[in-house]
A and B are shown apart, each in its own frame.
Chain A
Amino acid sequence: MSSKRLVSAFDIIGPIMVGPSSSHTAGAVRLGRLGRAILGAQPQQAILGLHGSFARTGKGHGSDRALIAGLLALSTDDPRIRESLELARTAGMAVTFHTVDLGEDAHPNSVEMILRAGEQEVRVVGASVGGGMVEIQAINQYPISFTGEHETLLVAAEDRPGTIHAITGLFLKYRLNIAFSRVERKQRGGEAIQIFETDAQIPEDMIEALEDFYWVLWARHIPKLLD
């Protein structure tokens, strides 16, 4: 399972983390953090489906505690990861776990997170691909791919001409350089998710500006994962 992404020195020498497993513990924390960022709030309810090795050996590696720690926005090196089940209870986050089969092609360390806060709900599939590196692979059943290595902007919008032009116009206004961008859509003229990865930090008022476009369904800033 080779990685096609650009690997940094700090993917290899790092993360600094609470043990015992980079893929099952640190990677799980990161997946939880990305899930929370995609929801755009701390979840009140989290239904976590564990696939493959996550399901079989996750408990012994503290993957359950680690995913919850990430949903609570803890870092990979936070000693409170051990107590995250109690922290979630105190924070009013209801969490359930079950086993899922995401298919043969799914990475052995995959999780499907259904996260709810108020009226919001997202369904996120992500994988911990080794050494603490992670990849988000689907949001609301759209196949997408980003890693949290960069500042990321997700924009769900109606699939119509001119949307990318309008969005990149905002990038120009905020003087942000786009490192990578992609568009994922299910069908022509339906809903599309656009992914922009940047080097510099994405300002929060840019999200508001994006959501002012009537054809934008939602926009999220996914902060870069740091350890």
Chain B
Amino acid sequence: MFDSLAEMIALAETQKQPLHQIVIAREAALIDRPPETIWALMCKRLEVMRRSTEEGVSRPVHSLSGISGGGAWKLWQQLENGYQPITGPILSRAIARAMAVNEVNAGMGCIVATPTAGSAGILPGVLLTLQEAYGFSDEQIINALFTASGVGAVIARRASISGAAGGCQAETGSAAAMAAAAAVELLGGTPHQSGQAVAITLKNMLGLVCDPVAGLVEVPCVKRNAAGAAQCFIAVDLALAGIESVIPPDEVIDAMANIGRRMDARFKETAEGGLAATPTGRRLAQIIWDGKPSAELKA
């Protein structure tokens, strides 16, 4: 789509258009389909995102392995019961929704990979919660998804969005950065500020390893989605205040690529390092790989 965020942002500035319009125009040219079709494709994705957040907060959803699940519902219950979260009324709900999508994913439910399944909670968690809090229309949210996709496409091109190739920074980092650019645009920021939000988010998530217990997209992925939503919110507030990243966004993406390349394979989705290699991580993996019933895991 674009080789750099600098190119994408410059185009938005010279054409005096929001980022989403720049992305939609490029996408229409790229896949050679009329704008209505492109719009309808994104519309369908928003519907699946919404369903997955609702499913995960309305009942405890458990994974097939049994090592994760039910967290989003627990937090949601707590909020519904009047608990005053220290993350505030908006972020707390974004966190719950982000976890919800990942729990549905771990249960082999239907989700939209944004950009991956392991990081699929962050974008819907952030955007659907902003919609609820600020009353944005579906049309505005769909536009925001295009902005997010433009950012993700640049990251995929310059670095990676795969945990196996670049670690968790490439998955939840990319997702949070995409959400940050989209949120800045929704909240009235400039394309330049969206770029700054991408840089700030990624900087704060550089080096994050992909160390899933038993190789499953569950532990720590579900909670990392909550963390990604929080990192996104931090960057959005900083960028909207006019705070600049000293390192420009494309250079931050390149730094992430560099770190990802040098990262030991044990920390790239192989389940051989980090949390996966802890005594508890190994014990759980053994039980799962031996095919024991999930009831034993919950004990």
Q: Is the CB of A14 within 8 A of B27?
A: no
Question: Which residues from B are CB-within-8-Å of A26?
Answer: 113, 117
Q: Is the CB of A131 within 8 A of B27?
A: no
Q: Which of A6, A10, A130 meets B161, CB within 8 Å?
A: A130
What's the least CB distance linking B123 to chain A, in Å? 8
Q: Which of A2, A8, A11, A52 meets B160, CB within 8 Å?
A: A2
Question: Which residues from B are CB-within-8-Å of A82?
Answer: 108
CA–CA, A6 to B113, complex, Å? 18
Q: Is the CB of B109 within 8 A of A19?
A: yes
How many A residues touch B, CB cutoff 8 Å? Answer: 45
Count of CB-CB pairs between chains A and B under 8 Å: 189
Q: A3-B156, A13-B149 in contact; A130/B164 too (CB < 8 A)?
A: yes
CA–CA, A138 to B287, complex, Å? 37
Question: Which residues from B are CB-within-8-Å of A143?
Answer: none
Q: Is the CB of A131 within 8 A of B162?
A: yes
> Which parts of B222-255 form the interface with A (CB within 8 Å)?
none
Interface status of B269 (Cβ within 8 A of chain A): yes
Q: A21-B217, A57-B215, A61-B215 in contact; A1/B115 too (CB < 8 A)?
A: no
CA–CA, A121 to B146, complex, Å? 42
Q: Which residue of B lies closest to A9 (CB)?
A: B149
What's the least CB distance linking B171 to chain A, in Å? 9
Interface status of A20 (Cβ within 8 A of chain B): yes
What's the least CB distance linking B162 to chain A, in Å? 3
> Which parts of A14-64 form the interface with B (CB within 8 Å)?
14-23, 25-26, 52-53, 56-57, 59-62
Q: Is the CB of A1 within 8 A of B162?
A: yes
Q: Which of B44, B65, B216, B270 meets A16, CB within 8 Å?
A: B44
CA–CA, A31 to B216, complex, Å? 20
CA–CA, A35 to B252, complex, Å? 37
What's the least CB distance linking B253 to chain A, in Å? 10
> Which parts of A62-112 form the interface with B (CB within 8 Å)?
62, 77, 79, 81-82, 107-109
Q: Which of A3, A12, A13, A60 meets B65, CB within 8 Å?
A: A60
CA–CA, A23 to B164, complex, Å? 9
Q: Which residue of B lies closest to A82 (CB)?
A: B108
Q: Which of A14, A57, A77, A199 meets B269, CB within 8 Å?
A: A57
Q: Which residue of A lies closest to B166 (CB)?
A: A1
Q: Is the CB of A2 within 8 A of B106?
A: no
Instruction: State the majority secondary structure of interface residues on B.
Output: helix
What's the least CB distance linking A47 to chain B, in Å? 23
Interface status of B104 (Cβ within 8 A of chain A): yes
What's the least CB distance linking B144 to chain A, in Å? 10
Question: Which residues from B are CB-within-8-Å of A18?
Answer: 108-110
Interface status of B98 (Cβ within 8 A of chain A): no
Q: Which residue of A lies closest to B147 (CB)?
A: A9
Q: Which of B30, B117, B272 meets A25, CB within 8 Å?
A: B117
Q: Is the CB of B105 within 8 A of A7?
A: no
Q: Which of B1, B110, B170, B216 meets A8, CB within 8 Å?
A: B1
Q: Is the CB of B271 within 8 A of A57?
A: yes
> Which parts of B92-138 form the interface with A (CB within 8 Å)?
104-118, 120, 123
Q: Is the CB of A7 within 8 A of B157?
A: yes
Q: Is the CB of B48 within 8 A of A2?
A: no
Q: Is the CB of A22 within 8 A of B271?
A: no
Interface status of A132 (Cβ within 8 A of chain B): yes
Q: Is the CB of A16 within 8 A of B116?
A: no
Interface status of A155 (Cβ within 8 A of chain B): no
Interface status of A129 (Cβ within 8 A of chain B): yes
Q: Is the CB of A132 within 8 A of B113?
A: yes
What's the least CB distance linking B58 to chain A, in Å? 18
Q: Is the CB of B107 within 8 A of A19?
A: yes
Q: Is the CB of B218 within 8 A of A20?
A: yes
CA–CA, A129 to B159, complex, Å? 12
Question: Which residues from A are CB-within-8-Å of B152?
Answer: 7, 12-13
Q: Which of B105, B123, B153, B270 meets A9, CB within 8 Å?
A: B153
Q: A2-B159, A60-B65 in contact; A21/B112 too (CB < 8 A)?
A: no
Question: Which residues from B are CB-within-8-Å of A25?
Answer: 117
CA–CA, A25 to B107, complex, Å? 13
Q: Is the CB of B117 within 8 A of A11?
A: no
Q: Is the CB of A8 within 8 A of B31?
A: yes
4 nearest A-B residue pairs (beta carbon): A57-B215, A130-B162, A19-B105, A12-B152
- Residues on A facing B (Cβ under 8 Å): 1-4, 6-23, 25-26, 52-53, 56-57, 59-62, 77, 79, 81-82, 107-109, 129-133, 199
With A16-B45, A53-B215 known, 10 other A-B pairs at CB within 8 A are A1-B162, A9-B146, A9-B150, A12-B161, A16-B44, A17-B111, A20-B218, A21-B217, A107-B164, A108-B268
11 contacts between A and B (CB under 8 A): A2-B257, A12-B178, A13-B148, A20-B108, A20-B216, A20-B218, A60-B271, A79-B110, A82-B108, A109-B164, A130-B162
